[in-house]
A and B are shown apart, each in its own frame.
Chain A
Amino acid sequence: MSKFTQSDSKSLLSRENQDKLLNGAIWAAAGITILFLLWVVWHILSNGLSHVSWEFITGAYTRIGEASGIWAMIVSTVYMVMLSLAFAAPIGIMTAIYLTEYAAPGSKLVQVIRFCTESLAGIPSIVYGLFGMTFFVSTLGLGFSILSGALTLAMLILPVIIRTTEEALMAVPMSYREGGYALGSSKIYTIWRLILPSALPGIVTSVILSTGRVIGESAPVFLTAGMVTQIPDSVMDSGRTLTVHLYKLTQELFTQHEWDQAYATATILIVLVLALNLATKVIANRLNKSS
């Protein structure tokens, strides 16, 4: 941009040429972004897609034979997502309701709550891992388990849910509230029957965004939930999520078979992210139309 400031006085380049140059820079930057995106995705998919098979997805992972299916990791990932959402979603949504519908704006309490949720969002995920490993795993004695992992991740996604839900609630027109109260409905009834339904697309989006976070995290997960490659029987069992699995695989890349596994697992992860992004769009569109 400094080039541009000079142009105000005198410059070697005519204004027209400068415009062309800057225009070129913008296109180039966009090109670089797209290039990297395509490169990363293409590299993973082109090496991984051919090794994704039904046996790979639904097979067991074993150390005795050659079998290296990822079914146990998929199940662990699903457990982790569901359990952490079961903790964080109700709490996050109700916090957002409190902040938008109940709290006196600008009060000390609201400021404290806001400050804390924003701080929660700012804490690096490795610190969550550090905390979860000491607090949930050791101090509370939950051990390396899906439960420890889900509790840690629930804290991590709480700010995402609160913020997105809050935005959705604030976007609900005031006339809904006015109408509800004018008809004599109670506050909680108005929230339940009028405000929440119309904020639903936003709330669903917040849940999907958090699902993405849970799937994508690695360090705080293996520090709390461990990395056992078996289907967990209960939430007190340890489990390995797909992302942790990919991390462990990348540490053992010697044979072609191991490379293939790593690429295939990365492919599954990218497809999952793609599916989640599409789901956000579809749900938002459909709910927007129907309301």
Chain B
Amino acid sequence: MKKVIGLLTAVGLMTAPLVQAGTVTVSGSTSVAQVMEVLAENYQNTAKKHVEVQGTGSSAGIRAAKDGTSMIGMSSRNIKENELNDDTKEIVIARDGIAAAVNKANPVQNLTQEQISKIYRGEIKNWSEVGGEARPIVVVTRENGSGTRGAFEEIMDLQRTVNGHKVTAITPTAQVGNGNGMIKTIVANNPYAIGYISLGSVDDSLVALSVDGVEATDKNIAAGEYQIARPFIVLVNNKPHPNAQSFIDFIMSNDGQSIVAEEGYIRVQ
């Protein structure tokens, strides 16, 4: 009868409360997930409500919020008009810079926006062309659909039109890593690599380049001096689930915004 018992257990598990009373589901951008996980933990500790954060990517987050798979979607790029529908609204919860980052051993500390753009187009191929060692540049990029990549392409003019569609102009020979972390790992371990990551996740394992002589800092972004920045957006239904609403209220509160700032992002309130 073991199998019967097994089956009954399965049925029992399935009919267990389908949705937990206090659960908030959040999914989307891996960059936003970094700060969202910290926000969620703080919220859980105070409000005793379960928050699930999935770093699945901006496009997936936008889709999940629209079709209801998640209560809250996260995006690290501006949401295209055709991606929004009438039932959903967007809320900017923070701003974040994108840092072009190189290995600590790399003597290059400053590049112009045009140089970075050319490196990513595959037109500049050697560090010696931008004042570094005579070694080939290992270009590292994020995957298609990543909010960080989308914002980076938009700001750095790395888009072109093919067959009437806007597509990437980043060289296809660039290495592709999924997630901020993988880019960080590659750049931190390879002295000839260049990558771009969320400024909030830059730490002393790599160096954020100055762009056009402007250092990549929160202050310079807030002052509008450092141009490569994008909003962190959450997407919710117009009539959000009460649990989702109270979590968003927490994020926008002074406590929530302090956490945002502590984690290295720019508060919006």
Contacts and interface: CB of A to CB of B under 8 A. Distances in A.
Given A230-B52, A233-B20, A83 B188 contact: no
B18 interface: yes
B7 A138 contact: no
Given A64-B42, A252-B181, A253-B185, A87 B69 contact: no
Contacts of A251: 177-179, 181-182, 185
Interface string A247-274: 0101111110000000000000000000
Interface string B53-85: 111100000000001111000000000000000
B146 to A, nearest CB: 13
A137 B20 contact: no
A94 interface: yes
Contacts of A248: 181
B56 to A, nearest CB: 8
B6 A252 contact: no
Given A86-B13, A90-B7, A254-B203, A63 B18 contact: no
A68 to B, nearest CB: 13
Interface string B16-36: 111110010101000000000
A62 B38 CA distance: 8
Interface residues on A, range: 35 or more
B6 A90 contact: yes
Contacts of B4: 90
Interface residues of B, number: 41
A62 B3 contact: no
A85 B5 CA distance: 12
B128 interface: no
Contacts of A63: 37-38, 41
A137 B54 contact: no
Given A63-B38, A147-B14, A89 B69 contact: no
Contact of B27 (A83, A89, A144): A144
Contacts of B181: 248, 251-253
Interface string A57-88: 00000111000000000000000000101110
B50 interface: yes
Contacts of B25: 143-144, 238
B20 A86 contact: no
Contacts of A234: 16-18, 20
B263 to A, nearest CB: 9
A28 interface: no
B41 A62 contact: yes
B269 interface: no
A233 B50 contact: yes
B57 to A, nearest CB: 12
A241 to B, nearest CB: 14
B50 A141 contact: no
Contacts of A93: 3
B25 to A, nearest CB: 7
Contact of A235 (B16, B41, B68, B184): B16
A208 interface: no
A141 B54 CA distance: 16
A237 interface: yes
Interface string A208-250: 0000000000000000001111100111111000000000101
Nearest to B21: A233
B9 interface: yes
Contact of B18 (A89, A227, A236): A236
A279 B38 CA distance: 40
Given A83-B10, A237-B23, A252 B54 contact: no
Nearest to B179: A251
Contacts of A227: 54-55
A148 B212 CA distance: 49
B205 interface: yes
Contacts of A143: 25, 69-70
Interface string B209-236: 0000000000000000000000000000
Given A251-B185, A254-B184, A254-B185, A86 B16 contact: no
Contact of B6 (A86, A229, A236, A250): A86
B41 A237 contact: no
Interface of B: 3-4, 6-7, 9-10, 13-14, 16-20, 23, 25, 27, 37-38, 41-42, 50, 52-56, 67-70, 177-179, 181-182, 184-185, 188-189, 203, 205
* Top 7 A-B pairs, shortest CB-CB distance: A252-B181, A251-B181, A86-B10, A254-B205, A90-B3, A251-B182, A63-B37
Given A90-B4, A236-B16, 5 more contacts: A63-B37, A85-B6, A236-B19, A238-B25, A254-B205
24 contacts: A62-B41, A64-B38, A83-B10, A85-B6, A86-B9, A90-B7, A93-B3, A138-B67, A144-B25, A147-B13, A226-B52, A226-B56, A230-B52, A233-B50, A234-B17, A234-B18, A235-B13, A236-B16, A237-B20, A251-B179, A251-B182, A252-B181, A253-B185, A254-B185
